[in-house]
Each structure stands twice: as C-alpha cells, then as structure tokens.
Structure 1
C-alpha cells in the first residue's frame, strides 16, 4: 500500500526532493526542456519497514506505523529498487534511518544558513570529478604555495605549462556548465600570463607569482564552495 499523499508530500519537502542515499543525492524533480507545461518527478516515498510479509525489512507492526512518516524515506526510483533487492539484506532499517536523519540534518542546515545545495548535487556529476581533478592538480603544484626564494625559474615555467595543458585538455570534457568552464579558463589565463611575461626576463617573477596566487586562491575557493571540492594541504594558504 502506498503512503498517503500528504505523507509523500511532507517527506519529499523534508528531503528537498533529493534522494536520501548519501552515495546518490540526485535531484528527483525538474522541468521538461521541451514543454513549459511538463515536469519530471523521479523520486518516491519508500517504506523502511516493508508493508507485506516477504517484503524488504518486513516486521510485525501495526498498519498505522507502516503508513506513518517515521517509516518513510525519500529516494530516487533507482535507489528505491536497490534497497529492496534481496529483501533488503544489504540495507537494514538502521541504515535507512541513519540516511534519513543525516540527510534531513543537512537540508535543515542549508536552509538555516542560506547555503546552496548545488555542491551536494554536483558531487554526483562528471563535472564534479573534473572540478576535483583541477583542484588536485593545482594542489600538487608547489609554484602556487612554495616561498619564492626556493623557486627555480625553469621549473616554475615548466610547472605552469603542465597546468595549462591539463586545463586545455580537461576543460573540453565539461558538460553544460558555463560556471566551471569559467573557472578552468580563469586558471588557464592566470598561468599563461605568468609564462608570457617571464619567458625572457624573470626579474619580476616573484611579483607575478604573488598576484597569480591571489587570483588562483579565489578560483579554488569557488571550487570548494560551489562544487564541494575537497582542498587540503599547503595550497589552502592562498585561499
């Protein structure tokens, strides 16, 4: 038996229409791109404790409890099917309760602090992988954080050239995300500028590196805030 419509609406709202599976977190509603009057809904209110004998995680509880919001979790259609496979052997009720509690906590926190849920959603896209790869590539380049007194001119140019080529190659893989393209482009220009201005005369290299690091720090901050990228280590000193 399906949940009452009011329960479905409430659990969907409490989840911000985002799948509660922390390894998924996909958005479950959206518009049709061809007809303004059409929409998509790919989410479902799933039973934590199965409603029938033989159902996933079935227990002997009263019908009211089975249909109560405490027994509902919002999932995308794929995750709903997944958790009920093998009668729910791989997804016990304790796991689903913890998913639900943690997810609603995140959504409540985002609401209270006026933060965007986009980093949460972007983590499920190929573009996030590209954003994280860019952050990791920059983090591996000492030219962005090592004290200028230890820098070797030739290695600086070589390192920036490697980054420029990386950006040129990986930015072609970005799908329908102009904001991420701008970040890639900005970091490519920052690197290119230092290379161009110091190709023959590197007396002002330290000054250029200081400016480059400040600009790169701004872009890294965007990767962290807008895409949820994990950025650690010495590179955080420029953010």
Structure 2
C-alpha cells in the first residue's frame, strides 16, 4: 500500500485573497513582476484568467522545501508565511529545489 502524503497546512481562501490584494495581483518575484490576472479576450471575453498562486515561504507539510518544524500549523497557514507569485516563478523555485536535491 502506498504511503500517504503528510497533512498540509494549506492557505484558506481569505489568506489567498489577502496575499493577492497586498500586491494588486502582481507577481512578487522582483525578476518577474507580471500582472497575474487579466481578460481572456480571444477565447471568452466575459471571463478572466489568473496565473497567480499563493505560495508558502516555508513548506506547508513536513518533508517539503524549507519546512520549519518550529512553526505552528497556524503560522504555516498565515499570510505572513505566504507570497503571491505567478506560476512560472513558483514552479521554477520548486523545481530548482528538487533539481539541487534539497528538501
């Protein structure tokens, strides 16, 4: 039987919205700074697209990158442990950690 993943301290909806609003939906990576929301003009003009994500600064689960066992669950889920980035920097950082073999 496969081993189940450790429980994650995911952000609640209000924290995600706070992180988004704090930066007006702009990626927080200083090398990126792309606006993460906008219209989908060619496919559906009445809709919008969002390429942003609320990312944890320290990992949301034991075994994740930058996990801090001294943090409480509430601290891991809080806006002070989050940053708003577009998917590209978030995935790049995650993949870089994996590539270098850091946990």
Query: TM-score of the superposition, structure 1-length normalised?
Result: 0.35
Moved segments of 4+, more than 6 Å: none
Distance in 1 separating the partners of 2:98 and 2:20: 24
Which residue does 1:69 correspond to in 2? 79
Bigger Rg, which one: 1
Aligned equivalents of 2:99, 2:74: Cα separation in 1: 22
What is the Cα-based RMSD across aligned positions, in Å? 1.7
Map 1:30-41 → 2, pairs under 5 A: 30-34=38-42, 35-41=44-50
Structure 2 residues without counterparts, runs of 5 or longer: 1-7
Separation of aligned partners in 2, 1:44 and 1:21: 12
Whether contact under 8 Å (1:50, 1:59) holds in the other structure is yes
Alpha carbons 1:49, 1:56 under 8 Å: kept: yes
Shift of 1:87: 5.1
> Going by fraction, where is strand more abundant, 1 or 2?
2
Structure 1 stretches lacking a partner, 5+ long: 90-239
TM-score between both structures, scaled by the size of structure 2:
0.79
**Distance in 1 (alpha carbons) for counterparts of 2:99 and 2:26:** 21
Greater share of helix residues, 1 or 2?
A: 1
Asked if the contact 1:7–1:69 (Cα under 8 Å) also holds between the matched residues in 2, the reply is yes
